């Protein structure tokens, strides 16, 4: 063991000499990125504005199946009966979410008793009254929530999604 300590000490001393510092400096110079010449582009994506339903079509705590931003993206509209974050409409209680689990893409089902969307795959649960916040399970993000607008006629339009939908490589549609 004494031999090992001597070798380690010699190694440390060599690293702190000019040769060691030069090697470390060269490594740092290679790792540091060059200064960006163009500013990064904004990650803002324009989603299509799509009419999903009318407020008269919704009943409290009765989910309505929809699709957004395209036909391959199943989702749900909900009138929760209490004002919530991201809630649209005259009562601020209409929300919409993707129903594809952000973990591995299983289809979610709505549980009226606690207003959650639940995954049969690995049991992740998402709170619809808290913006799709994950409350249990394997997923690593909250449930993507629709950005909704209700017009003067009561039509409900989806105009965006606040998280990446499972299976998409980016928010670019
Ligand atoms: Fe939903 Fe795994 S697919 S928790």
Instruction: Identify each DSSP E strand in 94-154 by its residue range.
Output: 94-98, 109-111, 116-118, 125-127, 133-136, 146-150
According to DSSP, the residues that pair with 75 across neighbouring strands are 66, 98
Return the structure tokens found at 157: 């339009």
The per-residue pLDDT for 16 is 46
Mean pLDDT of the chain: 84
Decide if 103 is catalytic: yes
Confidence at residue 169, expressed as pLDDT on a 0 to 100 scale? 76
Tens digit of each residue's pLDDT (9 = 90 or more) over 1-27? 455 455 455 444 454 454 444 444 444
Decide which of 17 and 120 is more confident.
Answer: 120
Burial (Cβ within 10 Å: 0-12, 13-18, ≥19) of residue 19: exposed
Pocket around ligand 1: residues whose beta carbon is below 6 Å from it?
Answer: 101, 103-104, 106, 119, 121-122, 124, 137-139
Ligand 1: distance of its center to the CA of 17 in Å? 54
Q: Name the residue with higher pLDDT: 31 or 102.
A: 102
Cα-to-centroid distance, 120 and ligand 1 (Å): 7
157 is catalytic: no
Q: Is the pTM of this model over 0.90?
A: no
Nearest CA to ligand 1 atom 2: 122
Q: Tell me: ipTM over 0.95.
A: yes
């Amino acid at each position: 063991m004494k031999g090992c300590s001597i070798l380690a000490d010699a190694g440390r001393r060599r690293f702190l000499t000019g040769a060691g510092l030069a090697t470390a400096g060269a490594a740092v110079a290679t790792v540091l990125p060059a200064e960006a010449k163009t500013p990064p582009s904004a990650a803002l994506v324009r989603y299509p504005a799509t009419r999903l339903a009318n407020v008269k079509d919704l009943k409290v705590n009765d989910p309505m199946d929809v699709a957004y931003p395209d036909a391959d993206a199943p989702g749900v509209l909900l009138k929760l009966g209490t004002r919530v974050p991201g809630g649209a409409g005259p009562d601020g209680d209409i929300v919409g979410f993707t129903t594809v689990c952000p973990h591995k893409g299983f289809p979610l089902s709505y549980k009226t008793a606690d207003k959650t969307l639940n995954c049969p795959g690995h049991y992740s649960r998402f709170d619809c009254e808290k913006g799709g916040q994950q409350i249990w399970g394997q997923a690593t993000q909250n449930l993507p929530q629709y950005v909704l607008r209700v017009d003067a006629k009561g039509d409900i339009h989806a105009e965006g999604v606040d998280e990446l939908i499972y299976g998409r490589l980016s928010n670019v549609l």
